Structure 1
Amino acid sequence: MNSSKTALTGIVLEYDSGIVPPPYSHVFRLALDWGKGDLDVKLDLHYTEREELSEQEILDEGFTTNDDYSYTGSLNAVWIKPVQELFNKTKWTNKDIEEGGITITPLEKGKDEGLKIPSNQEEWQLMAQDLIQAIYETVKKELPLQVHYRKVEHEQVIDCSLTVHFSNREVIFEMGQEKRTIHWEYAIQLMKMVFTPDYHYEMAKEEAGKKRGSYIECGDGYWHELGKGVINIDSSFDAVGKIKAGFEELMGG
């Protein structure tokens, strides 16, 4: 068992979104190779079944008519360890993934060891999304994710921001003159919370609020007030409260 872990020199991730309708439906193949110490990657991403949609329908969903993407190059080697750790803890299943999912082909000393289906589908899909985002940042196709947060209390305004660099798995927290690196997993869990509630854009403003409350801007220039313009989808899960708690912990509050 241990020898197979150390012999792993790369993996190929293949994903099919399955029953998801266009323009969201897509497939990708992401090959990772760290056999020589660096991390070489090859990505082929293709959106499917779009021929049944008009150009306007595609644009209305926030896409373009040319979202397919291919890349051959390298990524920061900081990604090797998390991929290996996820692979080593993964249990495999014989369950079919006809409705969509991810498969993994391990490479040992460059040799194809046969296709496997991970039981922890969501973890692998998130890892693949993070790796693709890292590629987009590396080639400057997209900027790092930056979220601004403001807390107004007793006439005091406290501003801070989190910048998530997928290219090198680094998260920078800034508040006033303070600038520090945040633990990756903590930041990713907080980002997950940030994108969980409903954002009511009809209530959004282009400037941060000055009245008592907590405000957030997720990189698109629009400020939302937590609890008013940002509302929990499920009353049994307080994502809004978790966002406030996460940022206040970073702020030392």
Structure 2
Amino acid sequence: MHPNSAKSIPTGIVLEYDSGIIPPPYSHVFRLALDWSKGSLQVQLDLHYTDRDELSEQEILDEGFTTQDDYSYQGALNKVWIKPVQELISQTKWTNKPLTEGGIYAILDENGKSGVSKTPANQDEWQLMAQDLIQAIYESVKKELPLKVSYRLVDSSDQIDCSLTVHFADRQVIFEKNGKDRIIHWEYAIQLMKMIFTPDYHYELAKETPGSKRGAYIECGDGYWHELGKGVVNIDPSFDAVGKIKSGFEELIRD
């Protein structure tokens, strides 16, 4: 094989993101650099919320933010994330097309050398990957706790309590039922989590304790229990997210 035809081996990647036309206090930019050239995973994150000088402090607080949301980190992350990132790199079609309304640019490090800025065609996948990695950083430094969703299913003969805890720090999902834990498939859990946060949650109907009458109840980590189909309803009549939540948990309960 001619030496110039050898395939470049990614040893790291830099992701640069701009939220685009999203208004403050949500608008933000970040730079996330990953380096696995020495076997471990070293990361550097710089995240900055933009245009907040247009808002009062109270307006920022009212949206659930603080005045200190910018964040920087440099250190190690569990190397379990290296393979998913490498797989996404290999599946990605790269272009030189500029982004018009925000998104992610990437700079690949190949064979120890930094390349040029490219645009991944699969923007949604890269934005989700970046969000997962940032969440992993937050968990690793104890800035945030793992996401835990509790679920209760009551039928005519039984009551089953279970929970799903997503540990981004080490990319593991723990399903607990009747005091017994087991690790479940990451992608299955993430797809179920997407469904969980798709419907409308009516907090005026929520309670601080789970229901005991026949039905399905869910608590998404904030201490409020909602009944599926009553306090949790589909936004789009053509897409039954509530039904998918029920079937997703029922499959886990059966296994």
Scaled to the shorter chain, the TM-score interval is over 0.9
**Match for residue 73 of structure 1?**
75
**Match for residue 43 of structure 1?**
45
2:113 to 111, 114, 117: 111
Distance (Å, rounded) in 2 between the aligned partners of 1:73 and 1:166: 16
1:148 to 127, 150, 170: 150
* Cα gap change, 1:88 to 1:152, in 2 (>3 Å): same
1:228 to 221, 230, 233: 230
Equivalent position SS for 1:114: strand
Distance (Å, rounded) in 1 between the aligned partners of 2:61 and 2:224: 21
Contact 1:155 1:212 in 2 (8 A): no
**Match for residue 170 of structure 1?**
172
63-72 or 146-155: bigger deviation: 146-155
User: Structure 2, unaligned stretches of length 5 or more?
Assistant: none
Deviation readout 1:163-219 (Å, 9 max, x if unpaired): 100000000000003211000000000000000000001100000001110000000
Is the aligned partner of 1:247 residue 2:249? yes
Distance (Å, rounded) in 2 between the aligned partners of 1:155 and 1:251: 15
Matches within 5 A, 1:173-192: 173-192=175-194
**Match for residue 3 of structure 1?**
7
Distance (Å, rounded) in 1 between the aligned partners of 2:25 and 2:252: 38
Distance (Å, rounded) in 2 between the aligned partners of 1:97 and 1:20: 14
2:27 to 25, 28, 42: 25
What's the CA shift for 1:3? 1.6
State the superposition RMSD in angstroms: 1.1
Identity %: 74
**Match for residue 160 of structure 1?**
162
Moved over 4 A (4+): none
Equivalent position SS for 1:124: helix
2:212 to 189, 207, 210: 210
Equivalent position SS for 1:3: coil
The one-letter amino acid paired with 1:240 is V
Equivalent position SS for 1:70: strand
Equivalent position SS for 1:20: coil
What's the CA shift for 1:155? 4.6
Q: TM-score, normalised by structure 1?
A: 0.97
Distance (Å, rounded) in 2 between the aligned partners of 1:15 and 1:157: 45
Is the aligned partner of 1:134 residue 2:141? no
Q: TM-score, normalised by structure 2?
A: 0.96
What's the CA shift for 1:112? 1.2
Contact 1:137 1:144 in 2 (8 A): yes
Q: Tell me the matched-pair count.
A: 251
Distance (Å, rounded) in 1 between the aligned partners of 2:49 and 2:242: 33
Distance (Å, rounded) in 2 between the aligned partners of 1:50 and 1:2: 48
What's the CA shift for 1:2? 6.7
